[in-house]
């Protein structure tokens, strides 16, 4: 069998890859990488930085590329067959990773180099690489007895399977539900574009009427605009009850097992909890510091949140005579109150945010700040027709990166938005090998609009929230694209998890600036630039219900820490445990049918376990960093060059606080966030 994953390729050869290629390719590449590792351990020369640390760094490049293709497809374009293959590949990769990290001969060589590090005259980046390699081994079991190593292997294999099953269940539950409406009066309150999209979904499913799903572009507008409270309740309960039905797709046991195994693993490695293990390699350092950080923010945000909640409750009573607002009322009455206070709503704004123009806008911002130029190209292989591909070049016309962008929901694609890479930047054979970066989102699809004639198509129009999402993911993409390091494992977003959100979150700030909006916010029909009064209202409403939004984010961070900072083995009831964890942040009455943990993919499938706090942590950094741009001019080249030079291009080569201080000239001021959020 000719296997495209085993032949040399530049960009991922998606059109040539069939599902049957993955397992044999990854098996073979694991064996090839083992041979590379054997060559290092059997080297009779004294261990040096070059023949040991750099040599390890250079192993398994083909394997890394093949697995990145496979797991990215498992997130963005999966099916039953791919999910089945993932259940075979994940344990294989875990076993291989353990074979490497528990390899005594390999660790002995690293240890020898590590002990001499002060005498080796290494560059900052080389020191960081040595430090990270040594810790990768010492923190993951290299010093354990054979018996404990065997236990660690079992735990890791089990965890790799459980994480996959958790995610598969969430995707299946999301796809399973549909709200099928046949009576037009049940559409009351919904904007025309939302109704058209639901009609298109119904047509695709060969049904009469309108279909709403749990995909964000369908679910969020329904919750925000539908006047029918009973239907809002129905879809909200289904969304909140994903994988909490005591059926084949239930995740309660998976949650308990994942949390328990993570804790056991941490104990085995000599840590008090999973959070203690994780945070040792984060800016925040300890669970105590994280909890203190979250509690300080809670103290500031809670009074504001309670006041906002009371105002929202009073508004719902005045408008519709509702005495107690529930979770399915939140988005609906928030939107109504926002319209009343600011005379602004997403439906007024959406015509100015055509996806095509917002993409142009974010590209223009990148060009003005960092001298990047984006050209859509058709000669790069894609995994789906929706995907757009771009050559990214600098002012001299040199290739900086290749960018993939995938914007619309599909049954084989998980909810949410993320950035990932197919190839990391590195210095290779004296050449700067450039990265291949991808952003994946779930925005409303273009729809055929009957109102405008049988063939007229309404383009993809974004809510303002979706605009900030695109800028957020593009900020991550810039971090990957502008990487300029020697070693791939220190490149791009390979940084401390509570630093990785700085480039993404800072870019969101440009969405609120008149100077930026005038670049791309033009009406999709008339070409008219967004009216100044709308821009003012966007800025005015930026802190609308910010106390409640902050409390919500804090509740997620606190739930994450509750699961991961102490021994979970005594927890028998996932829901009861969650209710206690939410106690200090709860505004709405609890919904007994709902459980967040069973679909909290960030922490039970993604990489955010004991790290969800990092969104808020990075907000402190981004508010403080953007204050400098605002002071000097949001497109000030000098400030942009410093941000690119000290933050975006450096990856994980230096301590993040050192990089931040070099850019900013000072440590971050937490008051900048509170000021921006209107909480001071």
Domain range for 193: 177-240
Same domain, 221 and 312: no
Predicted confidence (pLDDT) per residue in 231-247, tens digit: 999 999 999 999 999 99
Give domain status of residue 313, yes or no: yes
Predicted confidence (pLDDT) per residue in 120-148, tens digit: 999 999 999 999 999 999 999 999 999 99
Q: Give pLDDT, residue 338.
A: 95
Give domain status of residue 473, yes or no: yes
Predicted confidence (pLDDT) per residue in 303-357, tens digit: 999 999 999 999 999 999 999 999 999 999 999 999 999 998 888 999 999 999 9
Q: Give pLDDT, residue 335.
A: 95
Same domain, 477 and 425: yes
Q: Give pLDDT, residue 675.
A: 87
Alpha helices in 216-269 (DSSP H): 216-225, 229-240, 252-268
Beta pairing partners, 419: 439
- pTM of the entire predicted model: 0.94
Same domain, 184 and 225: yes
Same domain, 386 and 334: no
For the stretch 18-26, contacts whose Cβ atoms lie closer than 8 Å and that sit 24 or more positions apart, written own/partner, are 19/81, 19/82, 19/85, 22/66, 22/70, 22/82, 22/85, 22/89, 23/85, 23/88, 23/89, 25/66, 26/63, 26/66, 26/67, 26/70, 26/89, 26/92, 26/93
The total of structural domains in the chain comes to 4
Same domain, 372 and 320: no
Same domain, 213 and 282: no
Answer with the one of 123, 143, 163 that is the final residue of a domain.
143
User: Any idea how long the chain is?
Assistant: 680
Buried b / exposed e over 335-361, threshold 16 CB at 10 Å, is bbbbeeeeebbbbebbbbbbbebbbeb
Assess whether pLDDT exceeds 70 at residue 450: no
Q: Give pLDDT, residue 455.
A: 53
Answer with the one of 530, 556, 582 that is the final residue of a domain.
530
Nearest to 594 by CA among 246, 251, 239, 166: 239
CATH number of the domain where residue 292 is located: 1.10.1370.10
Give domain status of residue 619, yes or no: no
CATH number of the domain where residue 58 is located: 1.20.1050.40
Active site residues: 473
CATH number of the domain where residue 446 is located: 1.10.1370.40
């Amino acid at each position: 069998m000719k296997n495209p994953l085993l032949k040399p390729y530049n960009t991922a050869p998606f059109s040539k890859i069939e599902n049957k290629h993955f397992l044999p390719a990854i098996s073979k590449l694991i064996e090839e990488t083992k041979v590379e590792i054997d060559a290092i351990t059997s080297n009779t020369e004294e261990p040096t930085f070059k023949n040991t640390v750099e040599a390890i760094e250079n192993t398994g490049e083909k394997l890394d590329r093949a697995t990145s293709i496979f797991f990215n497809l498992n997130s963005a374009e999966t099916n039953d067959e791919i999910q089945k293959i993932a259940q075979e590949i994940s344990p294989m990769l875990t076993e291989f990773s353990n074979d490497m990290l528990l390899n005594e001969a390999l660790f002995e060589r690293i240890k020898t180099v590590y002990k001499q590090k002060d005498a080796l005259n290494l560059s900052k980046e080389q020191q960081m690489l040595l430090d990270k390699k040594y810790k990768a081994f010492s923190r993951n079991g290299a010093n354990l007895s054979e018996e404990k190593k065997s236990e660690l292997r079992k735990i890791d294999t089990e965890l790799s399977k459980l994480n996959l099953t958790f995610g598969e269940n969430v995707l299946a539950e999301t796809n399973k539900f549909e709200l099928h409406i046949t009576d037009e009066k049940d559409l009351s309150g919904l904007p025309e574009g939302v109704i058209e999209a639901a009609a298109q979904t119904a047509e695709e499913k060969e049904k009469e009427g309108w279909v709403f799903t749990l995909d964000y572009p369908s679910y969020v507008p329904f919750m925000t605009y539908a006047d029918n409270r009973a239907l809002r309740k129905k879809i909200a309960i289904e969304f909140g009850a994903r994988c909490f039905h005591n059926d084949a797709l239930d995740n309660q046991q998976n949650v308990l097992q994942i949390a328990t195994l993570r804790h056991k693993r941490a104990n085995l490695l000599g840590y008090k909890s999973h959070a203690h293990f994780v945070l040792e390699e984060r800016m925040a350092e300890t669970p105590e510091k994280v909890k203190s950080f979250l509690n300080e923010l809670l103290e500031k945000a809670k009074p504001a949140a309670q006041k906002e909640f009371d105002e929202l409750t009073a508004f719902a009573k005045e408008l519709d005579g509702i005495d107690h607002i529930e979770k399915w009322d939140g988005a609906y009455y928030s939107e109504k109150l926002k319209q009343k206070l600011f005379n602004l709503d997403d439906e007024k704004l959406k015509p100015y945010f055509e996806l095509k123009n917002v993409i142009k806008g974010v590209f223009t911002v990148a060009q003005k700040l960092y001298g990047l130029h984006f050209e859509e190209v058709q000669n790069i292989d894609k995994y789906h027709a929706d995907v757009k591909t771009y050559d990214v070049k600098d002012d001299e016309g040199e290739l900086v990166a290749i960018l993939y962008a995938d914007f619309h929901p599909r049954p084989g694609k998980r909810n949410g938005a993320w950035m990932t890479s197919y190839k990391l930047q590195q210095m290779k054979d004296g050449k700067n090998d450039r990265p291949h970066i991808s952003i994946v989102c779930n925005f409303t699809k273009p729809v055929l609009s009957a109102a405008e004639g049988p063939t007229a198509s309404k383009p993809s129009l974004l809510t303002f929230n979706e605009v900030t999402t695109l800028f957020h993911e593009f900020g991550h993409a810039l971090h990957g694209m502008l990487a300029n390091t020697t070693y791939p494992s220190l490149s791009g977003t390979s940084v401390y998890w509570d630093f990785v959100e700085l480039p993404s979150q800072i870019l969101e700030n440009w969405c609120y600036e008149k100077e930026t909006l005038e670049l791309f916010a033009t009406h999709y029909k008339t070409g008219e630039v967004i009216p100044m009064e709308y821009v003012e209202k966007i800025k005015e409403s930026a802190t609308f219900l910010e106390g409640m939004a902050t409390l919500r984010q804090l509740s997620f961070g606190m739930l994450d820490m509750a699961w991961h900072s102490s021994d979970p083995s005594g927890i028998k009831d996932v829901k009861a445990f969650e209710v206690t964890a939410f106690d200090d942040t709860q505004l709405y009455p609890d919904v007994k049918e709902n459980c967040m943990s069973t679909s909290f993919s960030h922490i039970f499938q993604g990489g955010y376990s004991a790290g969800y706090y990092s969104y808020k942590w990075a907000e402190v950094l981004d508010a403080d960093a953007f204050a400098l741009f605002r002071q000097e001019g949001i497109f000030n080249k000098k400030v942009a060059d410093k941000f690119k030079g000290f933050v975006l291009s450096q990856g994980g080569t230096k301590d993040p606080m050192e990089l931040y201080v070099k850019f900013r000239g000072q440590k971050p001021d937490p008051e900048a966030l509170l000021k921006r959020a209107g909480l001071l």
